[in-house]
C-alpha cells in the first residue's frame, strides 16, 4: 500500500516538474504575452518562481491595476495600493507600455484617490509611449482633474479613457495623431468639446461622452464634433436641467462625420442634434430622449433628419412620442431602414411612423420599462369578445403602411404589458401580408393562463398565409 502511494507521489511530482519545464522552455516574449493579461498584483508574485522569473515582471507591456471596494475603505490599504503602483512604475524597465489601466470603483462616501498620485502616474506612463491609457476612478466630489498636458501630445496613444465624473481641464495644445478611441465621463462641459479638441484627433474612430451634470458656468452649451474618420459616437447627456440647472438655456450637439456607422443618444437634457451624415454609411442608431423633447417639433425634425439614412434603429423612452408629435407631411422617409426596435411606451403613432419606413423587414417591441409584477401593469384581456378598445385603438386605424404589405417578415414582442399590446398583435397579423414569423414572450404572471392566451391569439385573422406565431 505504502509502495503504491509512493509511486503515485513520485509520478505526480514528475508531472509537475514536466509542466514546469514546459513553461520554462517558452521564450520570454510568449511568457510576457501571457502575463500581460493579469493584474500586476498577480504578475509580481511570479518573481519568486525562479531566477529567470525574478525580473521578468519588469518588462510586462500591460500594467493593470485594480483596487477593490474592501481595500478603499481602509486608509492603510489605500496607501499600500498607491505605494505599490509607485514601486512598479519606478522599478520596471524602460520598454514601451502598451496598456496602462487603473480601475477603482467606490461609492460616493468612500475614500477618493489622491490626484497628485494619478497625475504622477499619467506623466510616467506617457514617457513610456503608452498606447492604451485607461483611468476609471472616482475622485473627490467635483475635484478638478488637471490632466498633464503631455498626455494630449502623446504620439503613441491609440486609446484614451478618462472616468468617472470628473472635471477635465483641456490644455490649449492638443495633438494625438494616432488616437482612435476617446472616452470621457465628466462633470461640466465648459468649452472643451469643440474644434480645438477634435482638430487634434485626425484618426479618431470611436467617441464616447458621458456628461453627468453641468457646472455653474455652463449656459449656452455647444458640443462641436468634426472628425472625418469617426465611425462610432456614444453621447450620454444624462445631467438633466430645468430646476437643477436653471442657468442652462440651450444645449446643441453638432456631429459632422461622413463615415459615421453607429450613433447612440441617451439624452434627458433636451439637446438639439444636428447630424451631418453626408452618405448612407449609418448602420445603427439607438436614441432615447426625455419627455420634453417632443415640445419642439423643429428639434425633433433636425435630430431625425440626421439619422434618416440609418438601416437599424432602436427608439427608447419618449423618442417615439417625439417622432409622432411631428406632422406627417413634414417628416422625411427612412428609405434604408430594415429593422426597428421600440419600447412599449408611446406607440400611439406607430402606423404613421411605419408609413415612413417603406422597406422595414423586422420589428421588435420590447419591455424596457422594468415592469414585471402584475400589480404594475394593465391586465391583458383574455375574454372571447372582440372588444379591444384601448388607448391606441389600433384596429380602427385606416392606415396600412406599405412595409406591412411588401416587406415586414419578422415581429417580436418581449413581455406583454396590457390590452394595447393585444391590439397591436391583432393589427399586425391582420395587415402584414408577407409576415413569416411572430414571436410573443408572455409575462411571468400569465404562466397559468398561457393556453387560453395562445388560443385567443391564434384566432386572430392573418393577412399572411405563411405566418407562424410562436410563444415563449
Retrieve residue 198's grid coordinates. Answer: 477634435
CA distance 293 to 241: 12
Q: Is residue 289 part of a domain?
A: no
Given this model, what pLDDT does residue 352 score? 79
- Measure CA 40 to chain center: 28
* 406 lies in some domain: yes
pLDDT for position 131: 92
Q: What is the pLDDT of residue 393?
A: 60
Location of C-alpha cell 472628425: 227
User: Cell numbers of 52, please?
Assistant: 529567470
Cβ partners under 8 Å of residue 134, min gap 6: 99, 100, 101, 102, 103, 159, 161
Q: Scanning the structure block, which residue is given the C-alpha cell 509580481?
A: 44
Asked whether residue 458 is assigned to any structural domain, the reply reads yes
DSSP letter at 19 equals: H
Q: Is the dihedral of CA 76, 82, 88, 90 positive or negative?
A: negative
pTM (two decimals): 0.83
Residue 6 falls within a domain, yes or no? Answer: no
Q: 419-431 vs 450-458: helix axis angle to the nearest 10?
A: 30
Q: What is the pLDDT of residue 343?
A: 78
Left, alpha or beta for 58 (phi > 0: left; psi -120 to 50: alpha)? alpha
DSSP secondary structure letters along 112-167 = PPPHHHHHHHHHHHHHTT-SEEEEEE--STT-EE---GGGGG-TT--EEEEEEEEE
CA distance 362 to 402: 14
SS3 55: coil
Distance of CA 301 to the CA centre of its chain: 24
Question: How far, CA to CA in Å, does 411 sit from each of 358, 366, 426?
Answer: 16, 11, 12
Query: How buried is residue 322: exposed, middle or buried, by Cβ count under 10 Å (0-12/13-18/19+)?
Result: buried
Q: Are strands 206-213 and 232-237 parallel, antiparallel or unpaired?
A: parallel
Per-residue pLDDT at 143:
57
pLDDT at 172: 79
Is the omega angle on the peptide bond into residue 164 within 30 degrees of 0, that is, cis? yes
Number of domains in the chain: 1
**How many CB atoms are located within 10 Å of the residue 149 CB?**
15
> According to the model, what pLDDT value does residue 111 have?
53
CA-to-CA separations, 444 to 63, 236, 380, 461, in angstroms, rounded? 46, 32, 13, 26
263: Cβ contacts below 8 Å, ≥ 6 apart = 232, 233, 235, 255, 275, 282, 284, 285, 286, 287, 307, 310
Q: Do residues 104 and 72 make contact, with C-beta atoms less than 8 angstroms apart?
A: yes
The answer to whether the CB of 389 falls within 8 A of the CB of 382 is no
What is the DSSP-derived secondary structure letter of residue 322?
H
The residues with which 100 forms a beta bridge, in sequence order, are 63, 133
Residue 399 is assigned to a structural domain of this protein: yes
Cβ atoms of residues 175 and 198 within 8 Å: no
Q: What cell was used for 409?
A: 417578415
CA 350 remoteness from chain centre: 26
172-178 LR contacts (CB < 8 Å, sep 24+): 172/196, 173/149, 173/200, 174/199, 174/200, 174/201, 175/200, 176/152, 176/200, 176/201, 177/202, 177/203, 178/203
Cβ-defined contacts of 156-159 (< 8 Å, 24+)? 156/96, 156/129, 156/130, 156/131, 157/130, 157/131, 157/133, 158/131, 158/132, 159/131, 159/132, 159/133, 159/134
Give a yes or no: residue 333 inside a domain: no
**Residue with grid cell 481595500, as numbered in its chain:** 71
Q: Is residue 352 part of a domain?
A: yes
Q: What are phi and psi of 370, to 5 degrees?
A: 80, 10
Host domain of residue 394: 338-472
pLDDT digits (tens, 9 = 90+) for 58-87: 899 999 998 776 665 677 887 888 899 999
443 lies in some domain = yes
Strand positions, DSSP E, 334-431: 339-343, 362-366, 410-414
Q: pLDDT below 50 — which residues of the chain?
A: 7, 12-16, 108-109, 142, 242-243, 245-247, 369-378, 384, 388
Amino acid at each position: 500500500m505504502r509502495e503504491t502511494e509512493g509511486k503515485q507521489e513520485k509520478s505526480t511530482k514528475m508531472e509537475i516538474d514536466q509542466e514546469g519545464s514546459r513553461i520554462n522552455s517558452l521564450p520570454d516574449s510568449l511568457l510576457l504575452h501571457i502575463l500581460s493579461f493579469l493584474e500586476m498584483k498577480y504578475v509580481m508574485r511570479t518573481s519568486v518562481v525562479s531566477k529567470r522569473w525574478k525580473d521578468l515582471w519588469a518588462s510586462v507591456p500591460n500594467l493593470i491595476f485594480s483596487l477593490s471596494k474592501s481595500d478603499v475603505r481602509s486608509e492603510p490599504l489605500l496607501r499600500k495600493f498607491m505605494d505599490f503602483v509607485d514601486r512598479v512604475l519606478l522599478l520596471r524597465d524602460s520598454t514601451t507600455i502598451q496598456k496602462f489601466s487603473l480601475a477603482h470603483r467606490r461609492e460616493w462616501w468612500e475614500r477618493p484617490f489622491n490626484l497628485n498620485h494619478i497625475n504622477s502616474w499619467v506623466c510616467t506612463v506617457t514617457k513610456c509611449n503608452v498606447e492604451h491609457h485607461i483611468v476609471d476612478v472616482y475622485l473627490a466630489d467635483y475635484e478638478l482633474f488637471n490632466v498633464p498636458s503631455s498626455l494630449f501630445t502623446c504620439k503613441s496613444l491609440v486609446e484614451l479613457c478618462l472616468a468617472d465624473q470628473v472635471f477635465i481641464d483641456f490644455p490649449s495644445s492638443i495633438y494625438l495623431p494616432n488616437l482612435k478611441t476617446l472616452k470621457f465621463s465628466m462633470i461640466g462641459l465648459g468649452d472643451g468639446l469643440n474644434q480645438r479638441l477634435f482638430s487634434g484627433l485626425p484618426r479618431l474612430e470611436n467617441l464616447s461622452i458621458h456628461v453627468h451634470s453641468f457646472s455653474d458656468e455652463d449656459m449656452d452649451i455647444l458640443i462641436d464634433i468634426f472628425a472625418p474618420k469617426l465611425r462610432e459616437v456614444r453621447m450620454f447627456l444624462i445631467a438633466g436641467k430645468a430646476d437643477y440647472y436653471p442657468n442652462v438655456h440651450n444645449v446643441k450637439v453638432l456631429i459632422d462625420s461622413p463615415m459615421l456607422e453607429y450613433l447612440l443618444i441617451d439624452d434627458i437634457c433636451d439637446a438639439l442634434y444636428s447630424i451631418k451624415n453626408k452618405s448612407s454609411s449609418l448602420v445603427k442608431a439607438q436614441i432615447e430622449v426625455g419627455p420634453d423633447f417632443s415640445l419642439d417639433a423643429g428639434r425633433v425634425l433636425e435630430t431625425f433628419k440626421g439619422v434618416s439614412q440609418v438601416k437599424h434603429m432602436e427608439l427608447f423612452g419618449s423618442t417615439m412620442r417625439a417622432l409622432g408629435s411631428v406632422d406627417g407631411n413634414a417628416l422625411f422617409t427612412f428609405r434604408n431602414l430594415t429593422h426597428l426596435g421600440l419600447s412599449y411606451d408611446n406607440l400611439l403613432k406607430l402606423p404613421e411612423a411605419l408609413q415612413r419606413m417603406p422597406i422595414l423587414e423586422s420589428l421588435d417591441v420590447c419591455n424596457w420599462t422594468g415592469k414585471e409584477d402584475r400589480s404594475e401593469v394593465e391586465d391583458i384581456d383574455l375574454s372571447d369578445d372582440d372588444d379591444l378598445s384601448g388607448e391606441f385603438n389600433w384596429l380602427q386605424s385606416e392606415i396600412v403602411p406599405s412595409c406591412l404589405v411588401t416587406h415586414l417578415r419578422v415581429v417580436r414582442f418581449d413581455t406583454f404589458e396590457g390590452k394595447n399590446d393585444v391590439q397591436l398583435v391583432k393589427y399586425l397579423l391582420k395587415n402584414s401580408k408577407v409576415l413569416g414569423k411572430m414571436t410573443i414572450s408572455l409575462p411571468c404572471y400569465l404562466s397559468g393562463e398561457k393556453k387560453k392566451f395562445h388560443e385567443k391569439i391564434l384566432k386572430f385573422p392573418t393577412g399572411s398565409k405563411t405566418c407562424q406565431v410562436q410563444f415563449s
